[in-house]
Structure 1
Amino acid sequence: MKKLQYLLLAGVLLASCSKSSLELTNPNQITTDTYWKTEDDVKSALAATYGLFKNVDGGYWGVRGVELSNGRGDDFFIRNDVSYLYQLSTFTNTPDNAASTNVWNVAYRAIFRANQIMVNIEKVSGLTDEAKKAYIAEAKFIRGLNEYILVVNFGDVPLRTTIPASTAEYFVAKSPATDVWAQVIKDFTEAAADLPLTYDDSNKGRATKGAALGFLGKSYVYTKDWANAESTLKQLTAAPYTYQLLANYGDNFTAANDNNAESLFEIQVQDVGGTNPWAGENANEGLGVTTAQEFAPSEASGWFEVAPTDKLFNEFQNEKTTAGDFDPRMYATLFWDYPGATFYQKPFSAYTLPFGFKSYYKKYQNYNQANELTGSSGASDNQSDINEKAMRYADVLLLLAETVTMQGRPADAYTYLTAIRNRAGLPALAAGLDQTAMMKEIRHQRFLEFAREGQRFYDLQRWGLLKDEIANSDKVGKLYFVSPKHELFPIPQDEINSNPEMVQNSNW
């Protein structure tokens, strides 16, 4: 089986409190008291928890999550078709913004489910100690990744590491971001200790030891613990790990190359299941995503929700390959007017670029099809089954380059940057770069390497460059950006209203 299938058990996983012993119990109703019996129950619970990463409204790698993580960057524009997305892209959002509220809610839903697995697995009979440790490690990875999503987007947030036993325990105050990062690091560390190196083909998409180490190393980068970041990430460059850059950069973003040697962790999507990807967690839900259809131009039956900025377009042209051509990552990321350019089987002349921009996003699009109106299965359900890559080996290499540079060893960064540049066919990097020059090169490479992958805004955030780089761009709405206000989302207004322990983020 190519993909991990998401078995949706929301009813069980959203319940936590048992009924009073004085109440009658329906023997046919599945509850937390009756559900946790077999290993298959644990697997199904994990699948339902993984599935939230692609939840259509608030999953971080579902369509709205992709728009949220990319939308505030200086490389990305969201048009005003969906008002709450346009607001976050133009820094006119408020605490009741649906996109940020949904990401908050889905992340905590996933944390709740992960906590349930860790608590209730003790009720399951027949599990070996090794199997139990591995399942708990998966749950810790999922919890850690959702905590990571929350802290980079909201800053100080409530830590929820247990299942609430009473109504009062649902009301949790914010913990400082430093404490949240400590919990993220703890969860990824413990997950890495007990996760397997690999799975068989039928279980691809589940978290591995390498995935946990990758996000652990990245968490150390965010907290500027450069030595631990280096030692953690460096493990992934040697045996027993076999990660490597694909020879063709663009192969990372096609369904035919899902779960490849460059991928540490990716979100499994497939054009199967129900016919409605917007249905929510029920039998009608399709397991593909509509991201490609929503990003495609109208001439390819798309909704054209987003566009790359000209700042990104121009950055790609700063350096040519040794053959005198454009960087191949530009061809894989963007579609623009160049000789022989085709997109969805049409020449560039068939398209009309609105808003004055120079290009469309090509990355993650099914551009070899005639259009995006038909899903990958052939059904008219608009669903794509290109997995979203949550972490690639290229990220490991560029983070390693950054960690050694920030420790005053820019010469050690050449090995990692050379691998990235060689794949792109770029000439050798000038020798003898100091720390300042090397960081400039690292920032340039991350800008190009991860366009449309939800990294740019957060890179600028941790480098302290958001204000300057957004001002120095053609991003629509840049005049509304206020630092430090817009560096984090506000706490959702619903949370403020319902949780008496909650206080709003500063400046909101």
Structure 2
Amino acid sequence: MKNIIYIIALILFSGCGNFLDEYSQDLVVPKTVSDLNEVLLGNGYLPSAEVEYLRSGSIGWQLHLLDDDINTVIAYNATKGRTEMNQIYYGYTTWQLEVGRNYEGTGLSGDNGNWDALYQRINSMNIILHELGNVSQSTEQEKADAIRVQGECYFLRAQFYLMLVNLYAKPYATDNTTELGVPLKLTYYVEHDKDKETQFDRTPVAEVYAQIVKDLNESVKCFTVSPQTKSFYRASKDAALLLLSRVYLYMQDWKNAENTAKELLAGNKTLLDYGNIWGNTESYAISESSPELLFSQGPLNLQCDFNGSGGDFCISNDLYKLYDENDYRRDIYFVRSTQSDSLGLNRKYEMGKHRSYVSDIFTLRTAEGYLNAAEACAMQGDAQGASDWLNQLRAKRIKDYVNVTYDASEIIEQVRAERRKELCLEGHRWFDLRRYAVCKKAPFKKVIERVFALYDWENRSVFQYAEVYQLNVDDPAYVFAIPKSVLDFDKGMPDNIREDREYVRLMYRNNE
């Protein structure tokens, strides 16, 4: 019975047309590695797309609304955002108890999109990994292809679980191995017992991370035997190594983080010299042609947003002030809006509605490898080693850069600042803030304020005032609630408790 269930699940999740052969009038099954490869493409990797609004983006688009790198725009009037800002984004960007609740409190949208999409893809990976043992591998090429597909499945499952456990559970803490994580499903069939109220238990955070590490190590092994021959839109050994080094950072396993980042950079240290694109308005920091790009899946969710106009989001001054005037990134990444004087995105990505193959959430590039190595060294007391990695990156980012060697008292702060400057608007900052708060060697916590601008939509969209919200230190809103639809199905599953949140003060144009 379980076999029938998982085959049906495979068909339901598949978007791959007619590659499956008939098994009976009711069931079809994959028979070759090539068939499973197509299932992987259709049901594993996130597709590219044109994205007109951030809210219609792919998994994890909400990460851009949560951290201290952004704010909303105060302008004389709004040119966009009535539906998006008040109806869709309000609950997320002001860290409300119900993230789907609109500003007026009259509507509540579902909060299960990320959860459902991630588990659907994880389930597809589980099915493919099982089915690889049942399809023909009679030739050497089929055997090699099967190992490569296996490596891709392990990589994707790890990346999706890393997203899940960082959205719906507290950060990994070395002194708390029992903190509830997310359900860890590794079986190829659908479990359901009609007599049980709870179908899945929340696996401890530490166990989820252990599985992620195991999957990524298996992925590296697979790609070592059968290297990836496709472009950056398919997982590879380099991508797996970089993601693994990040996971070790999240776990505060500094030595393994250093070793893994160094293993990656020993074979691929390529960095884009931003001096070569600074004055070229047709060039972008992150694009399909970037030599730094190791992996990307899904669309560019930000392509039509964060332009700094009224009714939209902007870049926070807190972030902008970190950049030296000789830092190419400042002017490549950001530009002043002529409508509001707020900061919008410039050329970090290609902006404007288009089909992009580079994601602002699921992109991996070599620059992160330098930062991971630097952080791992800094946390182990190797200030010289950390400084060396920072210098190598900065030499490609800052005009006339002169190497600096930091001492142990300042290197950690420098590494964190550099990470924020380099990786902003790539889905890192929210997760970094979470893990910094539980870092045993150098904990860092801060209060974040969100200015939520309100406009008179019935009267020329004129600015009225702004409500200021605060995310406090150790705030429960650093963890998303388990989706209501999941709790309705799994009635015994523990939820993550969040709190009601009111604004702390009002802001008008004369005191902005």
**Normalising to structure 1: TM-score of the pair?**
0.74
Which residue number in structure 1 is paired with residue 11 of structure 2?
Answer: 12
- What letter is aligned with 2:398? G
Which letter maps to 2:343?
S
2:188 maps to what in 1?
Answer: 163
Q: 1:123 to 1:64 in 2, by over 3 A?
A: closer
The reply on whether 1:92 has 2:96 as its aligned counterpart is yes
Quote the residue 1:72 is aligned against: 66
**What is the alpha-carbon distance in structure 2 between the residues aligned to residue 412 and residue 494 of structure 1?**
48
- In structure 2, C-alpha distance between the alignment counterparts of 1:162 and 1:233, rounded to whole Å: 31
Query: Is the 1:214–1:233 Cα contact (8 Å) retained in structure 2?
Result: yes
1:117 aligned to 2:131? no
Instruction: Write the letter of the residue equivalent to 2:117.
Output: V
Q: Which amino acid aligns with 2:237?
A: K
1:470-503 alpha-carbon deviations (Å, 9 max, x no partner): 25x8687763424330111111111111113411
Distance change (3 Å), C-alpha of 1:11 and 1:164? closer
Q: 1:134 aligns with which of 131, 148, 172?
A: 148
Shift of 1:101: 2.2
**Is the Cα contact below 8 Å between 2:154 and 2:216 reproduced in 1?**
yes
Cα deviation for residue 444 of structure 1 reads 1.3
Aligned to 2:160: 146
* Total equivalences in the alignment: 423
* 1:356-375 superposed matches below 5 A: 358-367=342-351, 372=352, 375=353
Percent of counterpart pairs with the same letter? 22
Distance 1:26 1:195, change over 3 A: closer
The one-letter code sitting in structure 1 at the alignment partner of 2:297 is I
Structure 2 contact 49–356 (Cα < 8 Å) conserved: no
- The residue number in structure 2 matching 1:500 is 491
After superposition, the C-alpha distances for 1:272-314 in whole angstroms (9 at most, x for unaligned) are: xxxxxxxxxxxxxxxxx5631244567xxxx964321222222
Structure 1 or 2: more helix by fraction:
1
AA at the equivalent of 1:352: Q
Question: Within 5 A, what are the aligned runs for 1:480-499?
Answer: 480-482=470-472, 483-499=474-490
What CA distance in whole angstroms lies between the structure 2 residues aligned with 1:129 and 1:26?
A: 24
Summarize the alignment of residues 185-200 of structure 1 with structure 2, pairs less than 5 Å apart. 185-195=213-223, 199-200=228-229
- Offset from partner CA, 1:110-164 (integer Å, 9 cap, x none): 1011001011222222454333222112111111100000111111111011133
Alpha-carbon distance in structure 1 between the residues aligned to 2:110 and 2:390: 35
SS of corresponding position for 1:335: strand
Offset of 1:255 from its aligned partner? Answer: 9.8
- Between 43-52 and 179-188, report the one with greater CA deviation: 43-52
Q: How does 1:7-86 map to 2 (within 5 A)?
A: 12-14=11-13, 27=24, 31=27, 34-52=28-46, 63=57, 65=59, 67-77=61-71, 81-82=83-84, 83-86=87-90
Contact residue 490 and residue 505 of structure 1 kept, 8 A: yes
Contact 2:70-2:315 within 8 A present in 1 as well: yes
One-letter code aligned to 1:90 = T
Q: 1:53 to 1:442 in 2, by over 3 A?
A: farther
Is the CA contact 2:155–2:215 (under 8 Å) kept in the aligned structure 1?
yes
Which residue pairs with 2:446 in the alignment? 468
Match of 1:428 among 402, 409, 415: 402
Conserved? CA contact 1:61–1:267, under 8 Å = no
8 A Cα contact 1:42 1:117, kept in partner: yes
1:432-476 CA-partner distances (Å, limit 9, x unpaired):
x332300111111112111211111211211117751525x8687
Q: Is the 8 A contact 1:496 1:502 kept in 2?
A: yes
Going from structure 1 to structure 2, the CA distance change for 1:364 and 1:109 (only over 3 Å counts) comes to: farther
- What is the distance in 2 between the residues matched to 1:245 and 1:163? 40
Gap runs ≥5 in structure 2: 1-7, 15-21, 73-80, 102-108, 170-180, 438-442, 454-466, 500-512
Contact 2:13 2:43 in 1 (8 A): no
Partner amino acid, structure 1, of 2:491: P
Pair 360,304 (structure 1): closer, same or farther in 2 beyond 3 Å: farther
Distance in structure 2 (CA, Å) of the matches to 1:492 and 1:36: 33
Partner secondary structure for residue 232 of structure 1: helix
1:414 maps to which of 387, 393, 417: 387
Q: Which has the higher strand share?
A: 2
Counterpart residue number, 1:3: none
**Aligned equivalents of 1:55, 1:494: Cα separation in 2:** 27
Say which SS state the counterpart of residue 217 (structure 1) adopts: helix
The residue type equivalent to 1:88 in the other structure is Y
Gaps of 5+ in 1: 1-8, 16-24, 270-288, 322-326, 337-347, 377-382
Give the root-mean-square deviation of aligned CA atoms: 3.4
Query: Does the 8 Å contact 2:307/2:343 carry over to 1?
Result: no
Q: What is the CA distance between 1:361 and its match in structure 2?
A: 1.2
- Aligned counterparts of 1:165 and 1:258: Cα–Cα separation in 2: 37
Partner-residue secondary structure (3-state), 1:122: coil
| Aligned partner letter, 1:446 | R
User: Which of 308, 320, 324 is 2:325 aligned to?
Assistant: 320
| Cα-to-partner distance string for 1:301-354 (whole Å, 9 max, x where unaligned) | xx96432122222222xx232xxxxx1101111112xxxxxxxxxxx6xx312x
Matched, 1:444 2:458: no
Distance 1:262 1:67, change over 3 A: same
Matched, 1:262 2:246: no
Q: Give, in whole Å, the separation in 2 of the partners of 1:304 and 1:329.
A: 25
